[in-house]
Chains A and B, each alone.
Chain A
Amino acid sequence: MDMEEKEKISGSEILIRSLIREGADTIFGYPGGAIMPVYDALMNHTDSIDHILVRHEQGATHAAQGYARASGKVGVCMVTGGPGATNTITGIADAMLDSTPIVVIAGQITTDLIGTDAFQEVDFTCVTQPISKWTYQIGSAEEISRVVARAFFVAKSGRPGPVVLSVTKNAQVGMAEYVPEKVEFIRSYDDDPEIDMSAIEEAAEAINNAKRPFVLAGQGIEIGEAQEEFRNFVEKADLPFGCTLLGLSVLPSSHPLNKGMLGMHGNLCNNVKTNECDVLIAVGMRFDDRVTGDVSTYARQAKIIHLDIDASEIGKNVKADIPVLGNCRKTLKLISDRLNPAKHTEWTASFEPYVREEYEKVIDKELHPASGPLNMGEVVNAVSEASGHKAILVTDVGQNQMMASRYFKYEEKRSIITSGGMGTMGFGLPAAIGAAFARPDRTVCMFTGDGGLQMTIQEFGTIMERKVPVKIILLNNNYLGNVRQWQELFFHRRYSFTRLDNPDFQVIASAYGIPSRRVADRAELQDAVREMLETDGPFFLEACVAEEGNVMPMIPPGGSVDNMIMEC
């Protein structure tokens, strides 16, 4: 036994075994010189690790993000050094802002050559330090087992985030003994802050005394797998809630207390009630400016309770009267235990007029136009309905994203994957690929725009090669629509470089063997959606939508939450 344990193997082999030990079964990657030894070792383990060859390293990071968000596991991507590494930067920054656990493994030149401007030398740890949760350069084979264990622990614990490992060539080829490691504790890093029970008592008391309580549900609930704790919390004390973009699927859209989305293009009632409630309870969200609008007029009247695991979020944008630091799965339960069952019938009923107003002024027009071209909203609605509201929604960025998040409905948790904090165009297609690998049991519907699709369209190749069953819905308005909308509203309709002269997307899809259909006619929409969902494997549906449609309602930039414009 001892003989075997002392056997020396290559750093590359150790790396792969360490990944397997951490439960990695899927890697999104792209090889190159500085990572070749690891790729060579990978060939010995194709029975335990599925490597998906993407077509651009940015796609690998977004796919890993999609995988992580859909599964709750750590997403892994592997790239070479130099340009392969720098191509991952957008995904790393995106994962940082959206708290997505990914581990990026990048090759690096031999330690001896570092500092000489050798071929493809980039100081990758330095470049990624401000955009990652942890970044580390591995200089020897002996370190690998421990560092990989630490990387996974850091990525998934506490407030999750991206970890970057830059693995030198000498570490990859060096020989060492493989000693399996597990990291569950880092003394300088408090991944599970101790809960202050007086804060819990105070929060419960404030909620028990509230007449007009309102809850803001963030992605922290999904990350902490606290959906049931959250359900119990809101149901026990009859607390209406609005969701952030990333928190939309924490509870089913049909839940009576779920009032929909918050923020710039969120639902009117939520934004109005934010400035009318007496107690505002934020759970696992960070008061992003797209949620608050002008902070100086945001919920001034309310006592604010902020539940978050990240101490640096508390008091960052909005002052918390009662900060509740800790894992919300625990804090929600502790607070719920102290809540008196309550009913706020009059208060919850007071949301209704605003729901009606938004329906009449915005939603009804978006979903049921009498004539004219298709609207984005009605396409989204048709897909959501036809999939029984059970699909995973992935979006790109722009009007398509806002329309998808406004009109898609959710029945299951972990059902929205979108680039929230960064707003990265090109995120959608690769993220959908990742989600499809994470959840082969679920339908993945990806909405994108004509601009964003072209930023990572080469991932059609990945879809072709692996027959990835993603349903791609292009909401084609022949514009960088989101920017065009702002130009229309705030720049006197001067459409500076937002018109797109587009290719025939169906021809592109067919070049990759992806079945497709184009729909422009309202009468055909249902059938087109049905065909898409009934087709096994990938499908590309291009919906030709109104070129100058606008996402409404809207809090104008710098405006106050309760001052949404309803039409323009």
Chain B
Amino acid sequence: METESLYTIIVHSENFAGILNQVAAVFTRLQVNIESLNVSASSLPNVHKFTICCRTTEKNIDKIIKQIVKKLDVISAACYTDRDIFSSEIAMYKISTHVFDGSDDLNVILRKYNTRVVEVTSDYIVVELAGSSDEITALRDEFQNLGCIRQFVRSGKIAVTASNIEKVSEWLDRREKVRTERSRIL
């Protein structure tokens, strides 16, 4: 059996309806589970950006990338390891405060993880943590062990590339040149 690793894929696409479906279908076809998915606007006008994490084999990831790029309205897709990107995630935790009655344990944990408190009631608090995927998981585990976690949600990884070159912008520039050339010929 081939070993699986965690990959971060960044996709840029046109901002049309139905593209998420097309991108997701590539994973469904190969029966690869998406671990997390974030879709948002990018720095480029009318260009959407997907950050997708999945666990799969090297052979599959190559197919996935090529098949995503092949979709007509997809501009680019590439796969990165953690060394090539800066990534972050945000999570929210809704915590019962009764467990900590009279102790300082909660404050210690909150400070250790550098969380931001969003809301405090007599019953619970809501805290937010932005950080690496590992930190977010570690905090969740800590709360879970204390049996105080009422709700938990995480955003999925978002990432920017570390390279000095903005590949997508360059590619779009080249495409604009092709457009101009073609209209000149016609």
Residues of A within 8 A of B (CB): 125-126, 129-130, 133-134, 154, 184-190, 194, 310-312, 315-316
Complex: how many Å from CA A126 to CA B74? Answer: 17
Partner of B67, one of A126, A184, A186, A312: A312
Are A185 and B182 in contact, with the CB atoms below 8 A?
yes
Nearest A residue to B76 by beta-carbon distance?
Answer: A188
The contact sample of 5 A-B pairs, CB cut-off 8 A, is A129-B18, A129-B21, A194-B174, A310-B70, A312-B63
Are B72 and A189 in contact, with the CB atoms below 8 A?
yes
Residues of B within 8 A of A (CB): 13-14, 18, 21-22, 25, 29, 62-63, 66-67, 69-70, 72-75, 172, 174-176, 178-179, 182-183, 186
Partner of B75, one of A129, A187, A316: A187
Complex: how many Å from CA A165 to CA B47? Answer: 24
Residue of A186, A188, A311 with most partner-chain B CB within 10 A: A188
Complex: how many Å from CA A321 to CA B75? Answer: 26
Are B70 and A187 in contact, with the CB atoms below 8 A?
no
Nearest A residue to B180 by beta-carbon distance?
Answer: A185
Are A134 and B72 in contact, with the CB atoms below 8 A?
yes
Partner of A187, one of B67, B69, B179: B179
With A129-B22, A129-B25, A312-B69 as known contacts, state yes or no: A188 contacts B176, CB within 8 Å: no
Given A188-B14, A188-B73, 16 other A-B contacts at CB below 8 A? Answer: A184-B182, A184-B183, A185-B179, A187-B75, A187-B172, A187-B175, A188-B74, A188-B75, A189-B73, A190-B175, A310-B70, A311-B69, A311-B70, A312-B63, A312-B69, A312-B70
Which chain B residues border A129 with CB–CB below 8 Å?
18, 21-22, 25
Complex: how many Å from CA A512 to CA B182? Answer: 51
| Contact count A vs B, C-beta below 8 Å | 47
Which chain A residues border B179 with CB–CB below 8 Å?
185, 187
Nearest B residue to A125 by beta-carbon distance?
Answer: B18
Which chain B residues border A312 with CB–CB below 8 Å?
63, 66-67, 69-70
Are A188 and B72 in contact, with the CB atoms below 8 A?
yes
Distance to closest chain B CB from A171 (angstroms): 16
Are A130 and B29 in contact, with the CB atoms below 8 A?
yes
Which chain A residues border B22 with CB–CB below 8 Å?
129
Complex: how many Å from CA A311 to CA B75? Answer: 14
Residue of B13, B66, B72 with most partner-chain A CB within 10 A: B72
Complex: how many Å from CA A184 to CA B183? Answer: 8
Are A130 and B72 in contact, with the CB atoms below 8 A?
no
Nearest B residue to A132 by beta-carbon distance?
Answer: B72
Distance to closest chain A CB from B71 (angstroms): 9
Residue of B14, B29, B67, B70 with most partner-chain A CB within 10 A: B70
Distance to closest chain B CB from A525 (angstroms): 47
Distance to closest chain A CB from B13 (angstroms): 7
Distance to closest chain A CB from B11 (angstroms): 11
Which chain A residues border B186 with CB–CB below 8 Å?
184
Which chain A residues border B25 with CB–CB below 8 Å?
129-130
Are B74 and A187 in contact, with the CB atoms below 8 A?
no
Are B62 and A315 in contact, with the CB atoms below 8 A?
yes
Which chain A residues border B62 with CB–CB below 8 Å?
315
Are B63 and A316 in contact, with the CB atoms below 8 A?
yes
Partner of B176, one of A126, A133, A187, A311: A187
Which chain B residues border A133 with CB–CB below 8 Å?
72
Distance to closest chain A CB from B73 (angstroms): 5
